[in-house]
Chain A
């Protein structure tokens, strides 16, 4: 069974459009994350939610808005897409009570903005 899943796997869209990426985890974790991996493979955290509450919000344009309808889901909506948003976006989850904070990653969504 897939632990952390993301949809879609690939997303090609034009500049100025609005798009969403969905993430679901079936691990029973209470914390979920969004990461962005650029073309040089550099991985940087964007957001983190714990029990539907935003706890990490890195310096990310406000065109990016995460939404967590419940503990098992964390979606990422992006408004007015720009060329620089092209990247692979990874969702991850962890259990905060486990002090090791092992994070489990989804397969990624490759976003291409043309």
Chain B
């Protein structure tokens, strides 16, 4: 079936690294995404990774994909208070058009 799971909360100190984890069940995922949602705002696409890649780095963001375990993570280096938001992982299922399955979101709280 199609299911994406994330832990609901993460709290870190400013300057530390944050790691947000996600697991998914559908092995036919083609792309996996990370979105950020700030309070009262829409979702902002942060980064994505193709399912045949293991890692993707984009400035402070590092995405790791373990396809065997169906595990995706987002590492934010040098976390800042402005990174406080809800982070959603999402998967695109093969052959279902643009349909994305979202996780429940992880609320990241960054303390000064």
Contacts of A42 in B (CB 8 A): 102, 104-105
Interface 1/0s, chain A 32-45, versus B by CB < 8 A? 01000000111111
Interchain nearest-CB distance for B8 vs A (Å)? 9
Interface stretch (choices A48-56, A60-68, A71-79): A48-56
Contacts of B86 in A (CB 8 A): 41
Interface size, A (range):
20 to 34
Could you list 23 examples of A-B contacts with CB < 8 Å? A31-B97, A31-B98, A41-B37, A41-B86, A41-B104, A41-B105, A42-B102, A42-B105, A43-B105, A50-B98, A56-B99, A96-B98, A99-B30, A100-B31, A100-B48, A100-B50, A101-B100, A103-B100, A105-B42, A105-B44, A105-B45, A107-B41, A108-B41
Partner among B42, B88, B102 whose Cβ is within 8 Å of the Cβ of A106: B42
Contacts of A31 in B (CB 8 A): 97-98
- Most A CB atoms within 10 A — which of B43, B86, B92? B43
Interface size, B (range):
20 to 34
What total count of A-B pairs have CB within 8 Å? 61
- Is A25's beta carbon under 8 Å from chain B? no
Interchain nearest-CB distance for A12 vs B (Å)? 16
The 6 closest A-B pairs by CB, nearest first: A105-B42, A105-B43, A43-B102, A107-B42, A101-B98, A41-B105
Q: Is there an interface contact between B45 and A104, defined as CB atoms closer than 8 Å?
A: yes
- Is A70's beta carbon under 8 Å from chain B? no
Interchain nearest-CB distance for B61 vs A (Å)? 15
| C-alpha gap A40/B48 in the complex (Å) | 24
| C-alpha gap A40/B88 in the complex (Å) | 13
Interchain nearest-CB distance for B43 vs A (Å)? 4
Q: Is there an interface contact between B102 and A44, defined as CB atoms closer than 8 Å?
A: yes
